[in-house]
Structure 1
Amino acid sequence: MANVTFKGNPMTLRGEQVKVGDQAPDFTALNTDLEQVSLNDFKGKKKLISVIPSIDTGVCSTQTKTFNEQATSVDNVAVITISNDLPFAQKRWTADEGLENAVTLSDHRDLSFGENYGVVMEELRLLARSVFVLDENDKIRYVEYVPEGTDHPDYDKAIEALKAL
Protein backbone atom coordinates (compact mmCIF):
# COMPACT_ATOMS: atom_id res chain seq x y z
CA MET A 1 0.00 0.00 0.00
CA ALA A 2 1.50 3.31 -1.08
CA ASN A 3 1.91 5.97 1.57
CA VAL A 4 1.17 9.39 0.12
CA THR A 5 1.35 12.86 1.61
CA PHE A 6 0.19 16.15 0.15
CA LYS A 7 2.04 19.24 1.38
CA GLY A 8 3.41 17.00 4.12
CA ASN A 9 -0.02 15.86 5.33
CA PRO A 10 -0.78 12.11 5.24
CA MET A 11 -3.50 11.16 2.76
CA THR A 12 -5.87 8.22 2.81
CA LEU A 13 -5.94 6.61 -0.63
CA ARG A 14 -9.30 5.15 -1.52
CA GLY A 15 -9.65 2.28 -3.94
CA GLU A 16 -7.62 -0.73 -5.00
CA GLN A 17 -3.98 -0.03 -5.81
CA VAL A 18 -2.50 -1.81 -8.81
CA LYS A 19 0.94 -3.29 -9.37
CA VAL A 20 3.18 -4.33 -12.24
CA GLY A 21 1.86 -7.48 -13.86
CA ASP A 22 -1.80 -6.77 -13.09
CA GLN A 23 -4.37 -6.52 -15.84
CA ALA A 24 -5.33 -2.84 -15.92
CA PRO A 25 -8.80 -2.23 -14.52
CA ASP A 26 -11.29 -0.57 -16.81
CA PHE A 27 -12.57 2.90 -15.96
CA THR A 28 -14.81 5.60 -17.34
CA ALA A 29 -14.06 9.32 -17.40
CA LEU A 30 -15.13 12.36 -19.40
CA ASN A 31 -13.13 13.93 -22.22
CA THR A 32 -13.11 17.67 -22.92
CA ASP A 33 -16.24 17.29 -25.08
CA LEU A 34 -18.08 15.72 -22.11
CA GLU A 35 -18.10 12.32 -23.81
CA GLN A 36 -17.62 9.20 -21.70
CA VAL A 37 -14.32 7.45 -22.41
CA SER A 38 -13.05 4.09 -21.14
CA LEU A 39 -9.81 2.16 -21.25
CA ASN A 40 -11.27 0.23 -24.19
CA ASP A 41 -11.16 3.42 -26.30
CA PHE A 42 -7.36 3.04 -26.38
CA LYS A 43 -7.40 -0.68 -27.25
CA GLY A 44 -4.29 -1.95 -29.04
CA LYS A 45 -2.14 1.03 -28.03
CA LYS A 46 0.62 1.38 -25.49
CA LYS A 47 -0.58 3.75 -22.78
CA LEU A 48 1.16 6.17 -20.46
CA ILE A 49 -1.42 7.29 -17.91
CA SER A 50 -0.30 10.41 -16.09
CA VAL A 51 -2.39 11.18 -13.01
CA ILE A 52 -2.35 14.66 -11.51
CA PRO A 53 -4.17 16.49 -8.70
CA SER A 54 -4.93 19.66 -10.73
CA ILE A 55 -3.93 20.80 -14.22
CA ASP A 56 -3.68 24.45 -13.10
CA THR A 57 -0.69 23.96 -10.81
CA GLY A 58 2.98 24.17 -11.75
CA VAL A 59 4.04 20.56 -11.15
CA CYS A 60 0.89 19.15 -12.81
CA SER A 61 1.31 21.43 -15.81
CA THR A 62 4.97 20.42 -16.18
CA GLN A 63 4.12 16.73 -15.78
CA THR A 64 1.47 16.92 -18.49
CA LYS A 65 3.72 18.80 -20.92
CA THR A 66 6.76 16.61 -20.22
CA PHE A 67 5.01 13.30 -20.83
CA ASN A 68 3.26 14.58 -23.95
CA GLU A 69 6.59 15.83 -25.37
CA GLN A 70 8.76 12.85 -24.40
CA ALA A 71 6.35 10.15 -25.57
CA THR A 72 6.21 11.46 -29.14
CA SER A 73 9.22 9.30 -30.01
CA VAL A 74 7.29 6.12 -29.15
CA ASP A 75 5.11 4.48 -31.82
CA ASN A 76 1.49 3.51 -31.20
CA VAL A 77 1.18 5.24 -27.83
CA ALA A 78 -1.62 7.12 -26.11
CA VAL A 79 -0.57 9.61 -23.46
CA ILE A 80 -3.54 10.11 -21.17
CA THR A 81 -3.66 12.71 -18.41
CA ILE A 82 -6.33 12.15 -15.76
CA SER A 83 -7.39 14.50 -12.97
CA ASN A 84 -10.54 15.56 -11.15
CA ASP A 85 -10.47 18.93 -12.92
CA LEU A 86 -13.64 19.74 -14.80
CA PRO A 87 -13.42 19.02 -18.55
CA PHE A 88 -13.82 22.77 -19.22
CA ALA A 89 -10.66 23.58 -17.23
CA GLN A 90 -8.75 20.81 -19.02
CA LYS A 91 -9.88 22.11 -22.42
CA ARG A 92 -8.88 25.68 -21.54
CA TRP A 93 -5.46 24.50 -20.28
CA THR A 94 -4.68 22.45 -23.40
CA ALA A 95 -5.65 25.40 -25.62
CA ASP A 96 -3.59 27.87 -23.55
CA GLU A 97 -0.56 25.57 -23.67
CA GLY A 98 -0.87 24.76 -27.37
CA LEU A 99 -1.49 21.07 -26.62
CA GLU A 100 -4.95 20.75 -28.18
CA ASN A 101 -4.18 17.15 -29.21
CA ALA A 102 -3.28 16.10 -25.67
CA VAL A 103 -5.75 13.61 -24.18
CA THR A 104 -7.06 14.88 -20.87
CA LEU A 105 -9.77 13.03 -19.00
CA SER A 106 -11.83 14.16 -16.03
CA ASP A 107 -12.61 11.70 -13.26
CA HIS A 108 -14.64 14.25 -11.28
CA ARG A 109 -18.05 12.69 -11.87
CA ASP A 110 -17.68 9.05 -10.77
CA LEU A 111 -14.09 8.72 -9.49
CA SER A 112 -14.06 5.53 -11.57
CA PHE A 113 -10.37 5.74 -12.48
CA GLY A 114 -9.32 6.94 -9.04
CA GLU A 115 -11.05 4.13 -7.17
CA ASN A 116 -10.02 1.43 -9.66
CA TYR A 117 -6.34 2.45 -9.43
CA GLY A 118 -6.29 3.41 -5.74
CA VAL A 119 -5.44 7.08 -6.21
CA VAL A 120 -8.37 9.01 -4.67
CA MET A 121 -7.04 11.19 -1.83
CA GLU A 122 -10.08 10.95 0.43
CA GLU A 123 -9.30 14.12 2.40
CA LEU A 124 -9.11 16.32 -0.74
CA ARG A 125 -11.24 14.40 -3.30
CA LEU A 126 -8.31 14.84 -5.70
CA LEU A 127 -6.28 12.17 -7.45
CA ALA A 128 -2.82 11.38 -6.08
CA ARG A 129 0.07 12.02 -8.45
CA SER A 130 0.96 8.74 -10.11
CA VAL A 131 2.04 7.18 -13.40
CA PHE A 132 0.99 3.92 -15.05
CA VAL A 133 2.43 2.38 -18.22
CA LEU A 134 0.30 -0.26 -19.93
CA ASP A 135 1.19 -2.45 -22.88
CA GLU A 136 -1.05 -2.98 -25.93
CA ASN A 137 -2.92 -5.73 -24.04
CA ASP A 138 -3.59 -3.52 -21.00
CA LYS A 139 -1.09 -5.32 -18.80
CA ILE A 140 0.48 -2.92 -16.29
CA ARG A 141 4.23 -2.67 -16.93
CA TYR A 142 5.17 0.31 -14.73
CA VAL A 143 3.62 1.93 -11.64
CA GLU A 144 4.67 4.95 -9.62
CA TYR A 145 2.65 6.33 -6.74
CA VAL A 146 4.56 9.56 -6.01
CA PRO A 147 5.10 9.68 -2.22
CA GLU A 148 4.65 13.47 -1.88
CA GLY A 149 1.86 14.91 -4.01
CA THR A 150 3.71 18.15 -4.72
CA ASP A 151 6.81 16.35 -6.08
CA HIS A 152 7.48 15.40 -9.70
CA PRO A 153 7.25 11.78 -10.83
CA ASP A 154 10.32 10.00 -12.18
CA TYR A 155 9.90 11.04 -15.83
CA ASP A 156 12.93 9.08 -17.05
CA LYS A 157 11.86 5.75 -15.52
CA ALA A 158 8.31 6.05 -16.90
CA ILE A 159 9.53 6.90 -20.41
CA GLU A 160 12.12 4.08 -20.26
CA ALA A 161 9.32 1.64 -19.32
CA LEU A 162 7.22 2.91 -22.23
CA LYS A 163 10.09 2.62 -24.72
CA ALA A 164 10.84 -0.92 -23.51
CA LEU A 165 7.42 -2.15 -24.67
Structure 2
Amino acid sequence: MSKTQCFKIKRGTVYDKAAKEHFELLPKWKNVFSRLSDLLEEEITKMAFSPHILRLDPSEFTKEENKKLFRKDGVLKSNTNKAKNLFKDYQKIIEEEGLSKFEELRHINFIYGVMRMRHQHLESFRTSENDIYYKADFDLEKKTNGLVIPISEIEYEEKYLEELKKKA
Protein backbone atom coordinates (compact mmCIF):
# COMPACT_ATOMS: atom_id res chain seq x y z
CA MET A 1 0.00 0.00 0.00
CA SER A 2 1.37 3.37 -0.92
CA LYS A 3 1.48 6.43 1.30
CA THR A 4 -1.87 7.57 2.71
CA GLN A 5 -3.22 10.82 1.32
CA CYS A 6 -6.11 12.85 2.69
CA PHE A 7 -8.57 15.11 0.90
CA LYS A 8 -11.75 17.05 1.41
CA ILE A 9 -14.46 17.89 -1.05
CA LYS A 10 -13.86 21.18 -2.82
CA ARG A 11 -16.75 23.50 -1.99
CA GLY A 12 -18.71 25.07 -4.81
CA THR A 13 -17.93 22.39 -7.39
CA VAL A 14 -20.59 20.43 -9.26
CA TYR A 15 -19.63 17.40 -7.20
CA ASP A 16 -20.03 19.34 -3.94
CA LYS A 17 -23.44 20.63 -5.01
CA ALA A 18 -24.63 17.16 -6.06
CA ALA A 19 -23.44 15.59 -2.80
CA LYS A 20 -25.04 18.30 -0.68
CA GLU A 21 -28.33 17.94 -2.57
CA HIS A 22 -28.20 14.20 -1.87
CA PHE A 23 -27.72 14.78 1.87
CA GLU A 24 -30.44 17.45 2.00
CA LEU A 25 -32.97 15.17 0.30
CA LEU A 26 -32.07 12.01 2.24
CA PRO A 27 -34.28 12.73 5.30
CA LYS A 28 -37.35 13.06 3.07
CA TRP A 29 -37.24 9.31 2.43
CA LYS A 30 -38.68 8.78 5.94
CA ASN A 31 -41.96 10.21 4.64
CA VAL A 32 -41.85 7.84 1.67
CA PHE A 33 -41.49 4.86 4.03
CA SER A 34 -44.43 6.05 6.07
CA ARG A 35 -46.67 6.74 3.08
CA LEU A 36 -45.82 3.42 1.40
CA SER A 37 -46.54 1.63 4.66
CA ASP A 38 -49.97 3.26 4.69
CA LEU A 39 -50.61 2.35 1.04
CA LEU A 40 -49.62 -1.28 1.48
CA GLU A 41 -51.01 -1.53 5.02
CA GLU A 42 -47.70 -3.05 6.11
CA GLU A 43 -44.68 -1.64 7.89
CA ILE A 44 -42.01 -0.85 5.33
CA THR A 45 -38.54 -0.34 6.79
CA LYS A 46 -36.25 -1.31 3.89
CA MET A 47 -36.28 -0.02 0.35
CA ALA A 48 -34.01 1.20 -2.42
CA PHE A 49 -33.79 4.98 -2.51
CA SER A 50 -34.69 5.35 -6.16
CA PRO A 51 -37.31 7.66 -7.61
CA HIS A 52 -37.48 5.51 -10.75
CA ILE A 53 -37.83 1.98 -9.36
CA LEU A 54 -39.90 0.76 -6.45
CA ARG A 55 -37.85 -1.92 -4.71
CA LEU A 56 -38.77 -3.10 -1.23
CA ASP A 57 -37.57 -5.95 0.96
CA PRO A 58 -40.08 -8.73 0.20
CA SER A 59 -39.32 -10.47 3.49
CA GLU A 60 -41.22 -7.66 5.26
CA PHE A 61 -44.52 -8.51 3.57
CA THR A 62 -47.12 -10.35 5.59
CA LYS A 63 -50.01 -9.95 3.15
CA GLU A 64 -50.21 -12.33 0.22
CA GLU A 65 -51.57 -9.61 -2.07
CA ASN A 66 -48.43 -7.52 -1.50
CA LYS A 67 -46.13 -10.51 -2.00
CA LYS A 68 -47.73 -11.03 -5.42
CA LEU A 69 -47.01 -7.43 -6.46
CA PHE A 70 -43.22 -7.79 -6.15
CA ARG A 71 -40.61 -10.08 -7.66
CA LYS A 72 -38.35 -12.17 -5.43
CA ASP A 73 -35.65 -9.47 -5.68
CA GLY A 74 -38.11 -6.89 -4.31
CA VAL A 75 -38.75 -4.97 -7.54
CA LEU A 76 -42.37 -4.06 -8.21
CA LYS A 77 -43.85 -6.12 -11.04
CA SER A 78 -45.45 -4.22 -13.91
CA ASN A 79 -47.77 -6.87 -15.29
CA THR A 80 -50.91 -6.09 -13.26
CA ASN A 81 -53.15 -3.06 -12.95
CA LYS A 82 -52.68 -3.08 -9.18
CA ALA A 83 -48.90 -2.94 -9.56
CA LYS A 84 -49.15 -0.19 -12.18
CA ASN A 85 -51.43 1.83 -9.89
CA LEU A 86 -49.07 1.32 -6.95
CA PHE A 87 -46.19 2.61 -9.06
CA LYS A 88 -48.23 5.68 -10.05
CA ASP A 89 -48.96 6.28 -6.36
CA TYR A 90 -45.24 5.86 -5.61
CA GLN A 91 -44.32 8.36 -8.32
CA LYS A 92 -46.85 10.81 -6.87
CA ILE A 93 -45.30 10.41 -3.40
CA ILE A 94 -41.82 10.94 -4.84
CA GLU A 95 -42.99 14.09 -6.62
CA GLU A 96 -44.80 15.47 -3.57
CA GLU A 97 -41.79 14.83 -1.33
CA GLY A 98 -39.48 16.60 -3.79
CA LEU A 99 -37.40 13.50 -4.52
CA SER A 100 -37.78 13.35 -8.31
CA LYS A 101 -34.14 14.31 -8.85
CA PHE A 102 -32.72 12.31 -5.93
CA GLU A 103 -29.51 10.50 -6.76
CA GLU A 104 -27.73 7.91 -4.62
CA LEU A 105 -24.32 9.07 -3.35
CA ARG A 106 -22.61 6.04 -4.90
CA HIS A 107 -23.92 7.11 -8.32
CA ILE A 108 -22.78 10.69 -7.74
CA ASN A 109 -19.35 9.41 -6.71
CA PHE A 110 -19.15 7.25 -9.83
CA ILE A 111 -20.10 10.15 -12.11
CA TYR A 112 -17.38 12.38 -10.66
CA GLY A 113 -14.67 9.74 -10.32
CA VAL A 114 -14.70 9.44 -6.53
CA MET A 115 -14.11 5.74 -6.35
CA ARG A 116 -11.32 3.29 -5.88
CA MET A 117 -10.00 0.71 -8.28
CA ARG A 118 -9.09 -2.82 -7.35
CA HIS A 119 -6.29 -2.94 -4.79
CA GLN A 120 -6.83 0.71 -3.83
CA HIS A 121 -8.10 1.87 -0.46
CA LEU A 122 -10.60 4.70 0.01
CA GLU A 123 -12.47 5.68 3.14
CA SER A 124 -14.56 8.72 3.89
CA PHE A 125 -16.80 10.44 6.39
CA ARG A 126 -19.37 13.22 6.20
CA THR A 127 -19.30 16.27 8.42
CA SER A 128 -22.29 17.96 10.01
CA GLU A 129 -21.98 20.59 7.24
CA ASN A 130 -22.25 17.81 4.63
CA ASP A 131 -18.64 18.12 3.55
CA ILE A 132 -16.92 14.85 2.73
CA TYR A 133 -13.40 13.98 3.86
CA TYR A 134 -11.38 11.17 2.28
CA LYS A 135 -8.38 9.03 3.11
CA ALA A 136 -6.86 7.09 0.22
CA ASP A 137 -3.71 5.36 -0.90
CA PHE A 138 -3.89 7.05 -4.32
CA ASP A 139 -4.18 10.59 -5.66
CA LEU A 140 -7.91 11.28 -5.49
CA GLU A 141 -7.42 14.91 -6.52
CA LYS A 142 -5.89 13.82 -9.81
CA LYS A 143 -8.53 11.16 -10.36
CA THR A 144 -11.39 13.66 -9.83
CA ASN A 145 -9.75 16.46 -11.82
CA GLY A 146 -9.63 18.75 -8.80
CA LEU A 147 -13.06 18.10 -7.27
CA VAL A 148 -11.30 17.35 -3.97
CA ILE A 149 -8.39 19.17 -2.40
CA PRO A 150 -5.46 17.64 -0.52
CA ILE A 151 -5.24 18.15 3.23
CA SER A 152 -2.88 16.83 5.88
CA GLU A 153 -3.60 13.62 7.72
CA ILE A 154 -3.65 15.68 10.92
CA GLU A 155 -6.40 17.94 9.52
CA TYR A 156 -8.36 14.82 8.49
CA GLU A 157 -8.04 13.22 11.93
CA GLU A 158 -8.83 16.46 13.78
CA LYS A 159 -12.00 16.96 11.73
CA TYR A 160 -13.00 13.34 12.29
CA LEU A 161 -12.59 13.71 16.07
CA GLU A 162 -14.48 17.03 16.03
CA GLU A 163 -17.40 15.32 14.27
CA LEU A 164 -17.32 12.40 16.72
CA LYS A 165 -17.59 14.85 19.63
CA LYS A 166 -20.62 16.50 18.02
CA LYS A 167 -22.39 13.11 17.86
CA ALA A 168 -21.56 12.19 21.47
Q: What TM-score does the superposition give when structure 2 sets the normalisation length? A: 0.28
Computing the radius of gyration from Cα coordinates, the structure with the larger value is 2
Greater percentage in helix:
2
Higher-strand-fraction structure = 1
